[in-house]
Amino acid sequence: YETTGDAAYNTAGEITFIKPWFDHPYLLSLIEGLWTEAWGYRFPSTPPSLLLRIPMLGFALASLILFWKVSRTLFTQQAALFSFTLFALSPAFIIGQRMVVGENVIVPMLLASMYIMISKAKKWYVLLPVLAAAALLTKMTGLIVLLVIGLWFVLQKDWKSAVTYAGIGLGLFLLLYLPFVYSLGWNEFVEITSKQTFRLLGWVNPAFIMSQPGFHHYIFFDLSYYIVLVLGFAGILSSKASAKSNLMKFATFGALLLLWITSAEQDALGWYKLPFFTLLAVSTGYMFELIKPAT
């Protein structure tokens, strides 16, 4: 391993940077690295946290726009406005979207792929594998985008398209990721990955999701968190069967399953919940239409 450290950038001069590091794929690091380099901050200096969060604001804006597009395609204007208001004004989402985490890059890619599919904009289908690969290059849990894309075609029994788009997305990810891994050291990658697998993962009790409000590793009190949780689940369970509602239903439960498998009660890494809660926030529109049907 190559190590580097500079007491000028560390309060106690005790921090050591290790290279290579394979905690996650490189897209988020590349985005933040290019952004901070443009402002003159070079490794291993520590840029101001405000500067680091500015790219996240761009992804948050994209998420807001795409959230509205998805909701408006699924619901009446009133129901779409209801779900959008919950998503846009929830303190948990507002704070969570400013965190420098891969989930905030994955969410707009997830919403973009869902909008392309439910609006049946076939001319944009070519972007689906790109969105899937980009999500995976951000974080391995970006797999949710690949799964949702495959799910859309499976629900329509279009097996050929499911294999084609999912396969191209996965192939594009491997094409862009494996050479990078190999260039930094294949043996190191295998060793570090094997050590990462010893981390405690999974929940003992699925009700754990009720015990930790917010998207942080500390307790965050916010009623909107529970409103989204309750109305989102009630909405997808009460929605009428259709290709679009089935996609929302299976995608939401798929995101919950992925969260259950990859998260940990011991760590309570709340930002893992952002993609799942974004889908739940969309699904609150179903509950609004049930309570106040369109006239």
Q: Would you state the pLDDT for residue 153?
A: 94
Max mean pLDDT range (16-25, 115-124, 188-197): 115-124
Long-range CB contacts for residues 185-189, cutoff 8 Å, separation at least 24:
185/20, 188/1, 188/20, 188/22, 189/20, 189/22
Q: Would you state the pLDDT for residue 263?
A: 75
Asked whether the predicted pLDDT for residue 11 surpasses 60, the reply is no
**Element spanning 28, H or E:** helix 27-38
Q: Taking the model in full, what pTM does it have?
A: 0.88
Cα gap 100→52, rounded to integer Å: 7
Asked whether the predicted pLDDT for residue 283 surpasses 70, the reply is yes
Cα gap 125→121, rounded to integer Å: 7
Closest CA to 151 of 136, 135, 170, 165: 165
Mean pLDDT (the chain) is 85
Q: What is the pLDDT of residues 98-130, one digit of tens each?
A: 999 999 999 999 999 999 999 988 899 999 999
Q: Would you state the pLDDT for residue 217?
A: 63
128-158 CB burial, b ≥16 within 10 A, e <16 = bbebbbbbbbbbebbbbbbbbbbbbbbbeee
Q: What is the pLDDT of residues 261-282, one digit of tens each?
A: 877 655 566 788 899 999 999 9
